[in-house]
Amino acid sequence: MKNLVFLFVLLFSLNTYADPCMDLVKALIAKKKDMPSLEHTSELVKRLKNFADENALPYQILEVGPSNRKVQKLFVGLDATDEALVERYLKEFNLEDTKKPTLALEFGFEVPDEYVSGVLRTSSDPDAPIYRWGEQDIPRREWVRDWMIQGGGDYKGKTDHPERLKNPVWGYSHLIQLSPDEGKNVKVFLKKPGERGPCKSDNCIAWTTGIELGVTKKTATDEERKYLFNELGVSRSSAHYEIGRRLMHAANERHSGVVVFLNGQKGLTAFNKTLPKFLPPEPQIPYTNIIKGLGHDPNGELMTALKVVPDGSRIFFPIAAGASPEAMSALIQKAAGLKKGFDISILVNGINESTLRQGAELADGKIRFNSFFVGSNMRKLHGEGKVKYIPGYLSDFPRFIRDPNMKDFKYDAIVVRVSPADKNGNHSLGPNHDMIHAILEGNPKVKIIAEINENIPFTTGDNIIHKSKIAGSFKSTAKLAGPPVVPLTDVEKKIGLYLGKLIDSDSTLQIGIGNIFGGIADGLQKAKKKNLFISSEMFGDSLKDIMERGIAAKAETGFAYGSDDLYKWLHKNKAVKFVSTEVVNSPANVQNKEKFHAVNTALQVRLTGDVNAEMGPEGRLSSPGGQVEFMSGAARSIGGKSIIAIRSTAKKGEMSSIVLDLYDGHVTTPAESVQFVVTEYGVATLRGKTTSERAIELINVAHPKFREELRDEAIERNIISPADANDIKLDVPEIADHPVIMQGRAIASEKPGLLESISAWFSSIFLNISTLHLPR
């Protein structure tokens, strides 16, 4: 009887789920009223299913995406070692087909710690060039061999990852069928990349054609934003990170067809038995840094606001989230028609490189940029001589601005971002104070241009402007800039634990910028530290985390830079006070506070303790910011500590961060102001130590694979003696650099009950019967 029941269930399931592809097609067609483009997607699913049937290929339908909005996708396995089969795939799905043009976004299989660059394939010819990094590149055949299969090479078959050749799965092709008009648009953007907006990557084609890979809404949470690809256009670094994961788990029915490139028979076996195991993991990073491109002014409101800025003006833009990309774009547009143009002072990371380049390369030098800080958005431009750098400390510049003899710091206009006005007509500068009020004091006649943005929080402190002082304004709903977020690894977690032990309770804490501080809140909590006060030039998510855990109750800062959640948290938050960088960064103020702990990061630390936080092997990468001010002040504070936290290696583990020679010999913070250096291997205590003792301390926190070399070179240069070398620990296990889920963020799971187990067992039977199709 039991056998008959099971047979009935089996036959019923086979009859009910005989063609899951048609069920998927029907579901897509049913939704096309709300999303007309799904008509093309349903056609793609039918084409892909027919292609699988005609070529006897295995296929499955799997659910992917966020837990609250799973979508079904058709996965077809294709033997990438069969050249004839690959050519049939290329001929069927390409952009050359004018009636049913198809985007093919192809990626290599993701392995731990390695992300393979994605490409756009448009042609049916295996030897035609693919599009990568915004332009035509090598032939597809070469890309598949050297990059998709081998994980990156020198175009001659050489690779750093020969083990990838043995992988059952080599890569994926995400297929998106376009309308004929969309297909034409893509071809235009490929020929004219300058028309694509801020993002020049081939992956941004999905954005330029109006295709979204996720749920797009203004109120999206960071969790939801993990499943987005492009909204409005984003900076290239954001667009590329985890892109393979975002494509695979896109919560959008437009992306319902995936070809999986298999490694012969072993790939076929893996596809049939354990395909979910070989899919990229879900994305970990929310999208930030949404930017609108040049010329975005649909109502002309912005250009009207800028009419009060005369030709030849000196203009100031605040730091980070306080800088308006839309106003910068409009000023560039305006300058093109003027005689003199503008001199514009910029700071760091509020406006992307492509917009700045538009201005810097404007004909006849109509835009002349200078900056107090060289950040990632202007690094290349500075190296090309297109942005002039003014060295100095952030506590110095407000004094320069007020000095009547320093004419170059007398601004005619300042562009700020403000919140909507309160009932008294006051606008908040939100996450910024930095040196804005110093400019207003230095020139009471300065013209204030305000972007009134609903995303700007109304924050606490002397950072308000009354509406009567604003000369011109425009409204915007653009998201605020934030730093790129990368997954926290075991390295940052270890560093956080060491910092947690080193930082004292009842101290004043400053933290620099960087993902390296992502584990500090956990470290402080585990070390049971309490009653901290935060006094930091920049306030980021790591400091928010510390306050939310009750480790610190109050803070003062010059500006904030972080996630959307951080900006929302700051709204009307009286615990965080915004003050001038002249105050918070002042070395005199820092050293006069007892138990001031300054924690910053660097690119290199020399065996003497000297720190380089600015220069790379090819030139300037950054600027000192507030590091020197805080480190020198903390070193002189009674009970204070000056700390450098740094990963032991750079360049994906290829180079040691603990070195004998700094790039270009450049010292940002001198050894005299560095008391502790923390890596994932421990704490080097430098204060009160001789140069040889310092060298031993630092080698003992260097990565184990570089310690012997550092020891031998230090002996050769007479920094340490052979006898001293006995204190160096060489036999130390290496720390893996894998992503981790931090405390308080993991989702606990319960063991299923009997009913759930039975349900899961039946579901697995139906899934295997209905969605797994072996080749004939």
What is the per-residue pLDDT across 64-93, written as a single tens digit (0 to 9) for each?
A: 877 777 888 999 999 999 999 999 999 999
Residues 719-739: what's their mean pLDDT? 87
Strands 135-139 and 129-132: antiparallel
Question: Residue 9: is its pLDDT beyond 60?
Answer: no
Q: Please give the structure tokens belonging to residue 222.
A: 């960071």
Does residue 246 sit within a domain?
yes
Shared domain check, 472 and 501:
no
Shared domain check, 496 and 397:
no
CB 655 within 8 A of CB 663: no
Does residue 752 sit within a domain?
no
Query: Which pLDDT does position 20 carry in this prediction?
Result: 65
Query: Which pLDDT does position 16 carry in this prediction?
Result: 42
Shared domain check, 317 and 267:
no
CB 668 within 8 A of CB 604: no
In 10 A of CB 493, how many CB atoms? 22
Nearest residue to 278 via CA among 150, 170, 160, 118: 170
Chain centre distance of CA 262: 31
Domain CATH number, residue 598: 3.40.1080.20
368-412 per-position pLDDT tens digit: 999 988 887 788 888 899 999 999 888 888 888 888 899 888 999
Shared domain check, 374 and 226:
no
DSSP assignment, residue 705? H
| CA 178/CA 43 separation, integer angstroms | 10
Query: Which pLDDT does position 18 carry in this prediction?
Result: 53
CB 178 within 8 A of CB 209: yes
193-237 per-position pLDDT tens digit: 666 555 556 655 554 444 443 444 455 565 655 555 443 334 444
| CA 233/CA 199 separation, integer angstroms | 6
Taking all residues of the chain, what is their mean pLDDT, rounded to a whole number?
A: 82
pLDDT tier for residue 176 given thresholds of 50, 70 and 90: confident
Query: Which pLDDT does position 392 carry in this prediction?
Result: 86
| CA 540/CA 484 separation, integer angstroms | 12
Catalytic residue selected from 242, 537, 614, 680 = 537
757/557: higher pLDDT: 557
Nearest residue to 315 via CA among 357, 343, 337, 356: 343
Residue 606: in which H helix or E strand, if any? strand 604-606
Does residue 737 sit within a domain?
no
Q: 16-20, 322-326, 571-575, 728-732 — which is least confidently predicted?
A: 16-20
Question: Residue 107: is its pLDDT beyond 80?
Answer: yes
Query: Which pLDDT does position 564 carry in this prediction?
Result: 86
Question: Which one of 3-12, 88-97, 100-109, 404-413 scores highest in mean pLDDT?
Answer: 88-97
State residue 303 phi and psi, 5-degree precision. Answer: -65, -35
606-629 per-position pLDDT tens digit: 999 999 999 888 888 888 888 999
Does residue 761 sit within a domain?
no
Shared domain check, 227 and 81:
yes
Last residue of a domain, one of 443, 476, 509: 476
CB 411 within 8 A of CB 595: no
428-482 per-position pLDDT tens digit: 999 998 888 888 887 888 999 999 999 999 999 988 999 999 999 999 888 788 8
Contacts of 198 (CB under 8 A, 6+ apart): 233, 234, 235, 291, 292, 293, 352, 354, 355
Contacts of 759 (CB under 8 A, 6+ apart): none
Does residue 758 sit within a domain?
no
Question: Residue 701: is its pLDDT beyond 90?
Answer: yes
Question: Residue 489: is its pLDDT beyond 80?
Answer: yes
Shared domain check, 460 and 368:
yes
CB 320 within 8 A of CB 350: yes
Residues 283-312: what's their mean pLDDT? 68
Domain assignment of residue 262, given as a range: 21-278
Count of structural domains, the chain: 3
Query: Which pLDDT does position 202 carry in this prediction?
Result: 61
The pLDDT > 90 percentage for the chain reads 50
494-520 per-position pLDDT tens digit: 999 999 999 999 999 999 988 899 999
| CA 38/CA 32 separation, integer angstroms | 5
Shared domain check, 203 and 252:
yes
Q: Which DSSP string do the residues of 640-665 spell out, in sequence order?
A: -EEEEE--SEETTTTEESEESS-GGG
pLDDT tier for residue 760 given thresholds of 50, 70 and 90: very low
Nearest residue to 175 via CA among 48, 26, 61: 48
| CA 268/CA 170 separation, integer angstroms | 12
Query: Which pLDDT does position 571 carry in this prediction?
Result: 97
Distances (CA, A) of 172 to 340, 451, 715: 52, 43, 51
Residues 233-249: what's their mean pLDDT? 60
Does residue 228 sit within a domain?
yes
Residues 332-361: what's their mean pLDDT? 87
Query: Which pLDDT does position 54 carry in this prediction?
Result: 95
Last residue of a domain, one of 476, 504, 521: 476
Does residue 679 sit within a domain?
yes
Q: What is the CA radius of gyration of the chain?
A: 29
The pLDDT > 70 percentage for the chain reads 78
Query: Which pLDDT does position 200 carry in this prediction?
Result: 57
Shared domain check, 503 and 440:
no
Distances (CA, A) of 508 to 536, 548, 579: 9, 17, 16
Residue 13: in which H helix or E strand, if any? helix 2-16
Question: Residue 152: is its pLDDT beyond 80?
Answer: no
pLDDT tier for residue 160 given thresholds of 50, 70 and 90: low
Query: Which pLDDT does position 263 carry in this prediction?
Result: 94
Shared domain check, 716 and 572:
yes
Residues 31-50: what's their mean pLDDT? 72
Does residue 484 sit within a domain?
no
Q: Is 594 known to be catalytic? A: no
Query: Which pLDDT does position 114 carry in this prediction?
Result: 57
The sign of the CA dihedral 503, 507, 512, 518 is positive
In 10 A of CB 542, how many CB atoms? 22
Shared domain check, 496 and 460:
no
Shared domain check, 556 and 472:
no
Shared domain check, 251 and 208:
yes
